[in-house]
Chain A
Amino acid sequence: MLFPLAVAIIAREWNAALDFLIGFCACLLAGFFLVLICARGKRPISWTHGMVVASFSWIIGMLLAAIPYYLSGHYLSYLDACFDVMSGFTTTGLTLIQDLDHAGYALNMWRHVLTYLGGQGMVVFALTFLMNDAGGAFKIYVGEAKDEKLLPNVRNTARAIWFISVVYLLVGTLIFTLVALGEGIKMPRAFLHGLWLFMGGWSTGGFAPMSQNILYYHSLLIELFTIIFFTVGSFNFALHYAVWSGDRQELRKNVEIISFTVTLILLTLLTTAGFMKAKIYPDWMAVFRKGFYHLISGHTTTGFMTVYARQFINDWGELALLALIIAMLIGGSASSTAGGFKGLRMGILFHALREDVRRLIRPETSVLVEKFHHLREVVLGERHVRMALMIIVLYVFMFAVGTVGGLLAGYPLLEAMFEAASVTGNVGLSAGVTTPATPWGLKVLYIIMMWLARLEFMSVFAMFAYIAAGLKNR
């Protein structure tokens, strides 16, 4: 909170500065009490502890980070403020903020810093800058749904992730700033919009500084660069590390990239077919800028929009919407800023299916070894397939629960499904269901869904099991 506080002071937003100062003091107090209650000497951190710390820290972080939001007056309730914080942390991008177009620089900076931090992972942030002792750190790191070790030491892995993100931050901010200047936006807004567009894109969060999102700019260049940076941001950090270390062939061989490419092309065909059926866009450029843009925005779980929310339901037609819903559920790459059940699992299932088909047609006595390439050659095993199926089933189940929640709140089926897919995949595209007028029960459900999806269920389940075991033993 010190960073937006500094921005508030520089921009002379004294009310905002006070809000962040109060929030900062609340964080210090909360941290002090947590240390008092929980610090009981050095104990080894088990896998359970790691998952509980990872999942619980997101809830504590949400409650604290919502304080400046609520004090700003841009939220109708503290629940709405918590919703936006969880949306930022989980890089979803759905927002309940009121009058965003007149939000100050400090508030907008906080929104985008939250999503940028959330994309890296708060545990990664803590490992990089705050923790001295790396003992048990890997268990907490895995608890945040990251299991790729870029380097042998998890602290160095966290630093490598930050190095990649910061290098792209510098390059991306420069490019967006120049494009914004070219579009007629003056300094310092051009720089700030450039920075925020990059943060919202790279983190695949989808927050933008204006209420119309990317539509505000009416700029093909901004749309193209946002596609580049949010797609690159949806890549696995281990993939970035491999490519940057000289193994550029990894981009061609990696199962996640292949899976993403295939599903994107197939769904693009489906979406454009849907548009032709619905006859809504007059030419190929409109189909590309509205259709492909939202499809890749949804598939990478970014959530940048160049249409108004209601246009999805009113104009798109069911076929194109179905393609978008599928894209949102599949999502991006594992160990990245993206959500969804991930292209890696789609790739594993494809290889499992291929293995079964080959087993059927080969002689019974032949030995069959199915492999897939993910940073190295991996022999496909029962464990991979089981984990992939389990996570996909959990995501689909949560999507169903979200849809039912939307229906119970009174929304039509297609809108309930669209919003549930957006929340489940941590996407952020909206059909107009997520507004300040949404029933509070649905907001709470969506908060829980965003949290579960971002941490890929296991840490949260471990946390509840730990609490239940603790209560049972009393």
Chain B
Amino acid sequence: MFARLFRRSRRRRYTPVDVFLGMGVEMLYVALLIGAGALISWLVVR
């Protein structure tokens, strides 16, 4: 059952692990944008 989390089928190109990692990567990218915004705000105001 655990192996099904990683197995791709012909019908679906993504596994549950792919979805989880994909969401994580997307949210991480936005977190980096937020960090950049905060850094710019701090640098300009300082």
Which of chain A's residues have a CB closer than 8 A to the CB of B13? 245-246
Alpha-carbon distance A167/B20, docked complex (angstroms): 10
Which one of B26, B29, B34, B45 lies within 8 Å of A287 (CB-CB)?
Answer: B45
Which of chain A's residues have a CB closer than 8 A to the CB of B41? 268, 272, 284-285, 287-288, 291-292
B34 adjacent to A232 (CB under 8 Å):
no
Alpha-carbon distance A12/B45, docked complex (angstroms): 51
A272 adjacent to B45 (CB under 8 Å):
yes
Alpha-carbon distance A281/B46, docked complex (angstroms): 12
Return the chain B residue nearest A234 by Cβ: B30
- Interface flags, A227-270, vs B, CB<8A=1, else 0: 11001100100001101111010010000010001001100110
Most buried by B among A251, A269, A288: A288
B33 adjacent to A296 (CB under 8 Å):
yes
Min CB distance A280 to B, Å, is: 11
B37 adjacent to A248 (CB under 8 Å):
no
Alpha-carbon distance A292/B22, docked complex (angstroms): 25
Alpha-carbon distance A241/B31, docked complex (angstroms): 20
Return the chain B residue nearest A285 by Cβ: B41
Interface hits, B1-46 → A, CB 8 Å: 13-14, 18-19, 21-23, 25-27, 29-31, 33-34, 36-38, 40-42, 44-46
B37 adjacent to A296 (CB under 8 Å):
yes
Interface hits, A175-191 → B, CB 8 Å: none
Task: Say yes or no: is A100 at the interface (Cβ < 8 Å to chain B).
Answer: no
What is the number of residues of chain A that contact chain B, defined by CB distance less than 8 Å?
37
A224 adjacent to B19 (CB under 8 Å):
no
Alpha-carbon distance A269/B36, docked complex (angstroms): 11
Using known A-B contacts A228-B31, A261-B33, determine if residue A243 contacts B45 with beta carbons closer than 8 Å. Answer: no
Most buried by B among A224, A269, A272: A272
Alpha-carbon distance A460/B30, docked complex (angstroms): 34
Min CB distance A277 to B, Å, is: 11
Which one of B18, B27, B33 lies within 8 Å of A244 (CB-CB)?
Answer: B18
B26 adjacent to A243 (CB under 8 Å):
yes
Which one of B27, B37, B45 lies within 8 Å of A228 (CB-CB)?
Answer: B27
Using known A-B contacts A272-B44, A276-B45, A284-B42, determine if residue A248 contacts B21 with beta carbons closer than 8 Å. Answer: yes
B18 adjacent to A269 (CB under 8 Å):
no
Which one of A227, A265, A273 lies within 8 Å of B44 (CB-CB)?
Answer: A273
A284 adjacent to B46 (CB under 8 Å):
yes
Task: Say yes or no: is A283 at the interface (Cβ < 8 Å to chain B).
Answer: yes
Task: Say yes or no: is A171 at the interface (Cβ < 8 Å to chain B).
Answer: yes
Which of chain A's residues have a CB closer than 8 A to the CB of B40? 265, 268-269, 272, 292
A167 adjacent to B29 (CB under 8 Å):
no
Which of chain A's residues have a CB closer than 8 A to the CB of B14? 241, 244-246
Which of chain B's residues have a CB closer than 8 A to the CB of A261? 33
Alpha-carbon distance A272/B37, docked complex (angstroms): 10
Which of chain B's residues have a CB closer than 8 A to the CB of A284? 38, 41-42, 44-46
Alpha-carbon distance A275/B45, docked complex (angstroms): 9
Return the chain A residue nearest B34 by Cβ: A227
Which of chain A's residues have a CB closer than 8 A to the CB of B36? 265, 268
Task: Say yes or no: is A168 at the interface (Cβ < 8 Å to chain B).
Answer: yes
Which one of A167, A245, A246, A281 lies within 8 Å of B23 (CB-CB)?
Answer: A167
Which of chain B's residues have a CB closer than 8 A to the CB of A167? 19, 23
Min CB distance B46 to A, Å, is: 7
Which of chain B's residues have a CB closer than 8 A to the CB of A246? 13-14, 18, 22
A288 adjacent to B22 (CB under 8 Å):
no
Which of chain A's residues have a CB closer than 8 A to the CB of B45? 272, 276, 281, 283-284, 287
Which one of B26, B30, B42, B46 lies within 8 Å of A227 (CB-CB)?
Answer: B30
Which of chain A's residues have a CB closer than 8 A to the CB of B19? 167, 244
Alpha-carbon distance A224/B30, docked complex (angstroms): 10
A171 adjacent to B25 (CB under 8 Å):
no
A244 adjacent to B44 (CB under 8 Å):
no
B34 adjacent to A224 (CB under 8 Å):
yes
Most buried by A among B36, B38, B45: B45
Besides A168-B23, A235-B26, 17 other CB < 8 A contacts? A171-B23, A228-B30, A228-B34, A244-B23, A246-B13, A248-B25, A251-B29, A261-B33, A268-B37, A269-B40, A284-B38, A284-B46, A287-B41, A287-B44, A287-B45, A288-B38, A292-B38
A-B contact pairs, 23 of them (CB 8 A): A167-B19, A168-B23, A171-B23, A224-B34, A231-B33, A232-B26, A235-B26, A240-B22, A243-B25, A244-B19, A244-B22, A248-B22, A265-B36, A265-B40, A268-B36, A268-B41, A276-B45, A284-B46, A288-B37, A288-B42, A292-B37, A292-B41, A295-B37
3 tightest A-B CB contacts, nearest first: A292-B37, A244-B22, A288-B41
User: Which of B's residues lie within 8 Å of A, judged by CB?
Assistant: 13-14, 18-19, 21-23, 25-27, 29-31, 33-34, 36-38, 40-42, 44-46
